[in-house]
Amino acid sequence: MIEEQVVLVDPQGQVQGVQEKMQAHREGALHLAFSVLLYRETAQGREFLMHQRALGKYHSGGLWTNTCCSHPRQNETIEQAGLRRLEEEMGITGITQLHDIASFVYRAELDNQLTEHELDHVLVANINTIEMAPNLNEVMAYRWWSQSELEQALATAPQQFTAWFPQVLKHVIHH
């Protein structure tokens, strides 16, 4: 098995090298990441496809977050990585383009003595119909949330969401 690596960057996104993924999370090294958030327009308003991370994930198990998220590989574009992970995590194929609408740097102390310190790119796509077959090693549950329902849940029970999700949603709503 090939060890998974993350791309280390400075705060401006300039590549500084690569590091083994778990080591980067133990040390809190700044690295590239992306968060995909698929949405659809309905008669009731915009809805977002969310997933609940599997309990066995290396951090943030059981928490709700955007459609999928991960790290690009060395020499892989953010968009290519997003499309790859949509298929690997959610079993979603057929999306041909993701739009990189924003990026932000955040640092969060997580469970399991791990730290996320990421330059996170927010990728979106507006979809009408979709088929999915989530990977049970990655995803415990999934569902569509209305924007108002998400905003209410973030205000009243933010602990049910991943550390990065509030910023992802804020960028999508204000885009």
116 is in an annotated binding site: yes
What is the per-residue pLDDT for 129? 87
Output b/e per residue, 65-80; b: 16+ Cβ within 10 A: bbbbbbbbbeeeebbe
99: annotated binding-site residue? Answer: no
Strands (E), the chain: 5-9, 15-20, 31-42, 45-53, 64-65, 68-70, 99-109, 115-126, 139-146
pLDDT for 110: 86
What domains lie within the chain, and their CATH numbers? Answer: 5-173 (3.90.79.10)
- Per-residue confidence at 11, pLDDT binned at 50, 70, 90? very high
Q: Please check the confidence at residue 19 and state whether its pLDDT lies above 90.
A: yes
Q: What is the pTM of this model?
A: 0.95
Tokens describing residue 162: 């991943």
Q: Does the structure show a pLDDT above 80 at 1?
A: no
pLDDT tens digits, one per residue of 126-165? 998 899 999 999 999 999 999 999 999 999 999 999 999 9
Question: Among 45, 43, 61, which residue's Cα sits nearest to residue 53?
Answer: 61
Please tell me the total number of residues recorded for the chain in this structure. 175
For residue 89, say whether it is annotated as part of any ligand binding site. yes
Is residue 119 predicted with pLDDT exceeding 90? Answer: yes
Q: Residue 15 in 3-state DSSP?
A: strand
Catalytic residues: 69, 118
Check whether 31 is labelled as a binding-site residue.
yes
